């Protein structure tokens, strides 16, 4: 028995919108993927908050979570994550208290600090540009208070929300969230699916500084990874050019919809290096290649759980990738 066979696997979905597709298609694709991965035994299905991005349909994260939860029966549905400085903690407590009441024992609340978009969108959301820089711990504590049992004399309550104790995770791609998660005794998820540079340092900080809490007695670390499995290494790398084109567009300030894979990309050496840094933790290839890559990542990080993000143009390639990963997971 290997580390891979005993490690829970989960799914991160950005609800990508394809060139030539519609937002309704994206939501239908998410339901199909959630149903498949639930049947395959995956633990969680998380959706991420992004705004004003033409290629991502998960802006109303809690609404889409409710839709996915209603189309599934067992898999945990969560946010990966809600960007807390974008919202009043009371509103998030009400939204997630509602979800937990509708789907008891199946809801996760992953929290991040980033805006999930650019400065103009931050202004449109009326977000203070300094929000989350210094006051994130206070916002988190306020949110925890709305999800815990009401205190005597508590004037403002989250209804629904109060007493639901929705599990909170801290998400991040730097040392800040790792330190805060350790201090609070909360589970921690590192976003190596797009920013792997500080992965090892963040995990070390989290584990070294962890303080047991009512939530966790020991640290629990999940690592997000870009993973793409196909029938051959060559075909998997061909399919991965969809994700490469997305990051190349971000570098160039061109945020568009998911593009079909291509045989070659028109990029200069600096752009290629930047794209490869975004995808530095990617595990791409045939089933055996992916199995070996995931085993190496588990050996390196000692992660308690892996959350896989598979970015392909066609839904069938995405579904096939998760099926192939499930096959090697069960056989490991």
Q: 308 in helix, strand or coil? A: strand
Confidence (pLDDT) at 139: 95
CB 38 within 8 A of CB 45: yes
Report, as ranges of residue numbers, the positions in the chain whose pLDDT lies below 50.
Answer: none
Q: What are the pLDDT digits (tens) for 302-320?
A: 999 999 999 999 999 999 9
State the pLDDT at residue 255.
86
- Count of structural domains, the chain: 1
Give me the pLDDT at residue 182, please.
98
Q: Which residue has the tokens 């030539």?
A: 20
SS (H, E, C) 48-99: CCCCCCCCECCCCHHHHHHHHHHCCCCCEEEEEEEEHHHCCHHHHHHHHHHH
What pTM, to 2 d.p., does this model score?
A: 0.95
Buried b / exposed e across 286-316, counting CB within 10 Å, b at 16+? Answer: bbebbbebbbebbeebebbbbbbbbbbbbbe
Q: Which residues pair with 224 in a beta bridge?
A: 307
CATH of the domain at 152: 3.20.20.30
DSSP string, 7-47: S-EEEEE--B-BTT--HHHHHHHHHHHHHHHHHTT--EEEE
Which residues form the domain of 268? 3-331
């Amino acid at each position: 028995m290997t580390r891979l066979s005993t490690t829970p696997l989960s799914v991160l979905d950005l609800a990508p919108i394809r060139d030539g597709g519609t937002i309704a298609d994206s939501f239908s694709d998410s339901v199909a993927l959630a149903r498949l991965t639930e049947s395959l035994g995956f633990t969680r299905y998380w959706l991420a908050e992004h705004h004003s991005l033409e290629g991502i349909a998960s802006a109303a994260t809690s609404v889409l979570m409710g839709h996915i939860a209603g189309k599934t029966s067992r898999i945990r549905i969560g946010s990966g994550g809600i960007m807390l400085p974008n919202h009043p903690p009371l509103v998030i407590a009400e939204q997630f208290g509602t979800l937990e009441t509708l789907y008891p024992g199946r809801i996760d609340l992953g929290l991040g600090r980033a805006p999930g978009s650019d400065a103009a969108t931050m202004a449109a959301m009326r977000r203070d540009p300094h929000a989350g820089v210094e006051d994130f711990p206070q916002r988190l504590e306020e949110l925890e208070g709305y999800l815990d049992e009401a205190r005597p004399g508590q004037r403002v309550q989250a209804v629904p929300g109060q007493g639901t104790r929705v599990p909170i995770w801290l998400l991040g791609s730097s040392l800040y969230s790792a330190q805060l998660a350790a201090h609070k005794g909360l589970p921690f998820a590192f976003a190596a699916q797009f920013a792997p540079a500080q992965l090892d340092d963040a995990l070390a900080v989290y584990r070294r500084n962890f303080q047991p809490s009512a939530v966790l007695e020991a640290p629990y670390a999940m690592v997000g990874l870009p993973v793409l499995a196909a029938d051959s290494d060559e075909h998997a790398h061909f399919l991965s050019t969809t994700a490469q084109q997305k990051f190349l567009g971000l570098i160039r300030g061109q945020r568009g919809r998911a593009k079909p894979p291509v045989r070659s990309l028109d990029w200069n050496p600096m752009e290629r290096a930047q794209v490869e840094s975004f995808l530095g933790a990617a595990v791409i290839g045939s089933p055996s290649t992916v199995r070996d890559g995931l085993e190496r990542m588990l050996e390196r990080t000692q992660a308690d759980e892996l959350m896989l993000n598979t970015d392909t143009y066609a839904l069938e390639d995405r579904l096939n990738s998760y099926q192939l990963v499930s096959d090697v997971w069960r056989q490991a």
